[in-house]
């Protein structure tokens, strides 16, 4: 009896753990046919037994897009919004913990692998201490101010 209860507990725990793994923020980068990189960010939430998602495309300053349908069945994720002409279909790769799939919009299909977590912000090169040689002309200048004693 104890073994049956333990087995059922482990089984339901695993099912529940798998279903909750998708919740949260996921991101991915797709490359367009002309070589431009487009970043996609999805927030997955669960409302009762149904999934909801919110999509953002920071590359185009788009956020808050709520697709009409978000489904996860047997490791297959489908996000669709026919009114926007967009669809994402991907399969959960358990070994890499990623969702590998295709994003389609307006007849264009892009490979898009989603990774759990927020995307890394690009590190901008903003040196606070310039290093020689400077990319400009340099000239030493001094001023004397006898009233201030300088």
Q: Using 70 as the pLDDT threshold, list the residues of the chain that sit under it.
A: 1-20, 122
- Burial (0-12, 13-18, 19+ Cβ within 10 Å), 68: exposed
Residue 43 · residue 52 · CB < 8 Å: no
Which fold, 23-116?
Lipocalin (2.40.128)
Extract the tokens encoding 144: 């004397």
pLDDT at 91: 97
CA distance 64 to 148: 59
Domain ranges of the chain: 23-116
3-state secondary structure of 10: helix
pLDDT at 11: 42
pLDDT at 62: 95
CA nearest to 122, candidates 23, 44, 29: 29
In this prediction the pTM is 0.68
């Amino acid at each position: 009896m104890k073994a049956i209860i333990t087995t059922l507990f482990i089984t339901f725990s695993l099912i529940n753990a798998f279903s909750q793994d998708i919740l949260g923020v996921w991101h991915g980068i797709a490359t367009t046919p002309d070589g431009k990189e487009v970043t996609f960010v999805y927030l997955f939430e669960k409302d009762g037994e149904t999934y909801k998602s919110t999509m953002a495309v920071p590359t185009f300053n788009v956020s808050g897009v709520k697709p009409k349908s978000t489904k996860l069945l047997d490791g297959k994720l489908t996000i669709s919004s026919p009114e926007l002409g967009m669809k994402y279909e991907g399969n959960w790769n358990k070994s890499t913990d990623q969702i590998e799939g295709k994003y389609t919009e307006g007849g264009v299909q892009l490979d898009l692998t989603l990774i759990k977590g927020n995307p890394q912000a690009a590190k901008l090169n903003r040196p606070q201490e310039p290093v020689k040689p400077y990319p400009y002309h340099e000239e030493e200048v001094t001023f004397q101010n006898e009233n201030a004693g300088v």
